[in-house]
Structure 1
């Protein structure tokens, strides 16, 4: 880069050190943000001081060659809405920044390749979950535990528990081993290395399950599968979230759930395809899950590593190279590198460094982290409370209870998987606009009444053709409401909310919460179904949907359109203030606006923005970009 590109620090000097600057810029208490202010740590720094600090950062970290680029990137990061008036920024660079709003889906292929690999990882997860669904109709008989459907048999209760335990094995392995291994393995091997190890587990264990000779062997192979599932479930959403740009992070990270749904659908397809092959059908149904693990194992190392992981390891040059592959221009890569670095420095002052055990304890002792832990716990627990997995694990059993033949039950399960996948697509367009919290608050009441309706349909006599049809209809409708709401949000949300220092252990805790309760559900549902009848079981989970709705309303803040580091300020707001705002201001406003149709009802926002692009600032920026584009010919942007 030519010397003429360098920015003069100007005539004004300041003796403030980096430490003093970070202390002054972080005057918002990240543990008790009473003003609910979201702050840019660069916003109030004098220009000459900012340039000096950028130069110091560049010289200290082997980035002197790109120091002028980092200076310009820091100026854009300091004033994200003022880039149009910066003489230091070329027109081509301005056009790249405009495209972040005008063409927010225009990104390098490396980013979309990364998301595609993450999606394959999700499909592995979904296929692993449903391999046992169809197998439940036959493997118990082969292993002598198939008496659960015969209440008069002396081993009735024991067999129910064993079948539930075999189905729960992957979730037990995930909740107690895999998720907790994620933090140390990520620390040493990075996101890609952890995902590679998980892929090896998910490649070999379905084959082991397919050749099992008794239920104990099948149980062990599925425990080992769970280790891979836990590693993958705790790492892939983080990997996607850390690589994705803020404006479409939710849509890209939710690919985890969407392609998990696709994997579930493929698992149902495999179950149906091999149903007629005879006694070995269940072996093929379980073993087929190794197929999507092959491209995941091979493809993961062609992805750029997470730049935030590199920054955490103080490998800033590698972080910059990674960002170059993930962003459209060198300026955007330099801007994101320095902005992420400064925000992480503020965050580091809050939580400091700690070992693995300390990080786990701090999930519950540091107020900012504790609020994130509660929110992630809530959305993950709610995914099991809603009852989706009583369908995903036991739909074939449920439809047989409803009077379907084994083949009809597999067809109905296939339909459920298809609905689950198709209705995940709308979330791509709503999760970053409508928002994570809003999607949950809308869909949980719908899931409650559809489950209740499906349960009551069991009272229709089996001789009536409407019996099976209406049960399937309401189960499908339940899936249609689940898929764009509680489906994509929990893993997306949990990958976002923790600070970088606690992201792996926090995500491990969140995924362990989800999969532990999935295991509890899997173990208990056969017995619950026998004790409560299908109507009682569905009604029970309908009630849990209502309870989950209340928990989300009280404990889960919105995270859309905020950088991962800006969420430190969101979760710095005390829980009491957040609950008070939603119960005394938001709820009365919503009733006035949508129940009484009062279009003049006004709501004072909870969060206030200082030096970052808030909602109103986003609108202004979009207007200014359109005006700038109208004044000048657009610059052709290279792919």
Structure 2
């Protein structure tokens, strides 16, 4: 790069705004494709929810973690520390460590072979992992099954949000993209319900819980065989005629010239990028990279996984009985699923920022209330009374509800819709990898943190929620209603990011078009803080 702030490569293949020229409607074909693809979210949620209930079942603990089984039934043991065991934590966290690695491997597959290929890889891994877990005879076999499941999650979470974002019309992209999160919450709820039932089946109920993950995995794999590839991916791989045919089919009209032209222009730059991970580090992609790291990290640092992974364990640590703890986790799972519907109904009307900020405030209040109750009324020699136990469950449900209509779905939606085509698969891989890294860290350390911090663990998470709410207020522009291929034009209107982006002050000699985006970015986009 020479002096004077001259950019050597075009910032985007999209030359102008055409959003108002887009035609089409939400066809049954789009709904069907999104529902089938979102089954990947269901399997993800099922594997999140199932582990917490299984790890609280005595037959499972007695077979694989006898030390924890003895601690659990030791009445004199510290209430906060009964489940503090790194091996037990590894059963949960190994899923996400494997997901982290496989999400990076999935990026070239998603880009070169298409979104469907990664969805199919994820489905096959889910089937293999569920089979191994259900038939496990020893701890290595159990952990291997979890690792293979994690590989499926890495491929599925890398491809499914991209698939949903590219298939959905711009004006409903937020709601349809949240099919993934809705399916995830339904998976968690289903897992909690199944655990509540299988806990009564001795001694093999836990095998049924783990093995049933294979059913939605089969649906995901079968659906992946029937799904069309996205038009964006087809154009990127050189199949323009097929891409236009698919676009006309999913929009229900032949008048798709404007949207198709945006895709073609975006692909011109995409096909010249051989190293998308290197490209994403360039200064012009800095805002998207920051969001790809911060959004999934903050999503996990809400502390939601401490509730979802270990809900039965957490409630048992607070003095709830076995059945009561599983029942409480069923309630939280139901609240999470229902609250996601609120987000689906409002995200494309109210926007992303309003939901994220309001959800953040509600979660902070709930975490502080739980910390105060546990600090005053619960400890090594104290059990929660019935009234305070009910209060804790209610407040945790309010916390889960806030997450369900804010950071839960939007932590995936925002990163999946902000990247230009040339870095989209790499950006999604970074999003998934960061999410899984923090998920792994929380899953592996939570039981130890609970033992050490006691009620202070909830204040720890409240502090992070405060930071991320401030971050959204100042640094996240509103993406509501902006076509995915024109998203790259948004950052130069933001008060902060426009100062960091390289200036575009001369004609690009390579493609002969004007790079001064002040002439490109019009007034049709929403106001940006």
Partner in structure 2 of residue 401 of structure 1: 317
Shift, 1:579, TM fit? 8.7
Shift, 1:211, TM fit? 1.4
**8 Å CA contact 2:129, 2:145 repeated in 1:** yes
Partner in structure 2 of residue 132 of structure 1: 51
Shift, 1:136, TM fit? 0.7
| Pair 1:360 & 2:277 matched | yes
Aligned residue pairs total: 494
| Pair 1:287 & 2:211 matched | yes
Matches within 5 A, 1:463-542: 464-533=385-454, 535-542=455-462
Deviations 1:102-157 (A, max 9, x none): xxxx522111111111221111110011111111113232222425545869xx89
2:221 to 279, 282, 297: 297
TM-score by length of structure 2 reads 0.87
Partner in structure 1 of residue 15 of structure 2: 41
Matches within 5 A, 1:183-194: 183-194=107-118
Partner in structure 1 of residue 371 of structure 2: 455
Deviations 1:180-214 (A, max 9, x none): 11112113321111101110111121121121122
Partner in structure 2 of residue 198 of structure 1: 122
**8 Å CA contact 1:32, 1:573 repeated in 2:** no
**8 Å CA contact 1:344, 1:565 repeated in 2:** no
| Pair 1:272 & 2:196 matched | yes
Gaps in structure 2 of 5+ consecutive residues: 1-5, 501-516
Partner in structure 1 of residue 510 of structure 2: none
Matches within 5 A, 1:168-567: 168-176=93-101, 178-332=102-256, 334-345=257-268, 348=269, 353-355=272-274, 358-364=275-281, 366-458=282-374, 459-460=376-377, 462=383, 464-533=385-454, 535-567=455-487
**8 Å CA contact 1:31, 1:573 repeated in 2:** no
Shift, 1:400, TM fit? 0.7
**Separation of aligned partners in 1, 2:403 and 2:499:** 25
| C-alpha distance 158-401 of structure 1, shift in aligned 2 (>3 A) | closer
| C-alpha distance 411-188 of structure 1, shift in aligned 2 (>3 A) | same
**8 Å CA contact 1:206, 1:288 repeated in 2:** yes
**8 Å CA contact 2:83, 2:313 repeated in 1:** no
| Pair 1:614 & 2:517 matched | no
| C-alpha distance 495-324 of structure 1, shift in aligned 2 (>3 A) | same
| C-alpha distance 547-148 of structure 1, shift in aligned 2 (>3 A) | farther
Query: Larger Cα Rg: Structure 1 or Structure 2?
Result: 1
**Separation of aligned partners in 2, 1:309 and 1:295:** 23
Shift, 1:470, TM fit? 0.6
Shift, 1:262, TM fit? 0.6
**Separation of aligned partners in 2, 1:40 and 1:268:** 46
Shift, 1:312, TM fit? 0.7
Deviations 1:262-294 (A, max 9, x none): 110011111111110012122222222111111
Partner in structure 2 of residue 626 of structure 1: none
Q: Quick check: 275-284 or 545-554, which moved more?
A: 545-554
**8 Å CA contact 1:386, 1:542 repeated in 2:** yes
**Separation of aligned partners in 1, 2:493 and 2:90:** 41
**8 Å CA contact 1:261, 1:417 repeated in 2:** yes
| C-alpha distance 40-289 of structure 1, shift in aligned 2 (>3 A) | closer
**Separation of aligned partners in 2, 1:309 and 1:148:** 53
| C-alpha distance 407-322 of structure 1, shift in aligned 2 (>3 A) | same
**Separation of aligned partners in 1, 2:411 and 2:195:** 27
Deviations 1:570-622 (A, max 9, x none): 23557745699xxxxxxxxxxxxxxxxxxxxxxxxxx98858671589xxxxx
Q: What RMSD, in angstroms, separates the aligned Cα atoms of the two structures? A: 2.9
SS at match of 1:41: coil
**Separation of aligned partners in 1, 2:314 and 2:521:** 54
SS at match of 2:406: coil
Deviations 1:496-532 (A, max 9, x none): 1111111111101111100111010000011111111
**8 Å CA contact 1:201, 1:224 repeated in 2:** yes
Deviations 1:46-79 (A, max 9, x none): xxxxxxxxxxxxxxxxxxxxxxxxxxxxxxx4xx
TM-score by length of structure 1 reads 0.72
**8 Å CA contact 2:132, 2:144 repeated in 1:** no
